[in-house]
A and B are shown apart, each in its own frame.
Chain A
Amino acid sequence: MTATAETAPVLALGDDALVLSHRLGEWAGHAPVLEEEVALANIALDLLGQARVLLSLVGDEDELAYLREERAFRNCQLVEQPNGDFAHTIARQLYFSTYQHLLYARLAAAGDGSGPLAALAAKAVKEVAYHQDHARQWTLRLGDGTDESHRRMQRGCESLWRFTGELFQPLGGAQGPAEDVRPGSRPGGVGDGGLGDGGLVVDWAALEADWLSSVTAVLEEATLSVPDGPRRGAWSAGAGRQGVHTEAFGRMLAEMQHLHRSHPGASW
Chain B
Amino acid sequence: MTGTPEQGHQEAAGAAAPGPGAGAGPGAEAGSGRTAGEWPLWEVFVRARRGLSHTHAGSLHAPDAELALRNARDLYTRRGEGVSIWVVPSAAVTASSPDEKDPFFEPSADKPYRHPTFYEIPEGVRHL
Q: Which residues from chain B contact A52 at a C-beta distance below 8 Å?
A: none
Main secondary structure of the interface of B (DSSP, over half): helix
Identity of the chain B residue whose Cβ is nearest the Cβ of A41 in the assembled complex: B74
Choose from A34, A36, A39, A141 the contact partner of B12 (Cβ within 8 Å): A141
Choose from B17, B61, B71, B74 the contact partner of A146 (Cβ within 8 Å): B17
Q: Which residues from chain B contact A33 at a C-beta distance below 8 Å?
A: 39, 61
Given contacts A35-B60, A35-B75, A145-B9, contact A137 B17 (CB under 8 A): no
Q: How many residues of B contact A (CB 8 A)?
A: 23
Q: Which residues from chain A contact B64 at a C-beta distance below 8 Å?
A: 141
Identity of the chain B residue whose Cβ is nearest the Cβ of A39 in the assembled complex: B74
Q: Judge whether B70 and A39 touch: CB under 8 Å.
A: yes
User: B9-26 toward A: CB 8 Å interface, digit per residue (1/0)?
Assistant: 110111111000000000
Query: 23 A-B Cβ contacts within 8 A?
Result: A35-B60, A35-B75, A38-B71, A39-B70, A39-B71, A42-B74, A134-B70, A137-B70, A140-B5, A141-B9, A141-B12, A141-B15, A141-B16, A141-B67, A142-B16, A144-B9, A144-B10, A145-B12, A145-B13, A145-B16, A146-B17, A148-B17, A149-B13
* Chain B interface (Cβ < 8 Å from any Cβ of A): 5, 8-10, 12-17, 39, 60-64, 66-67, 70-71, 74-75, 78
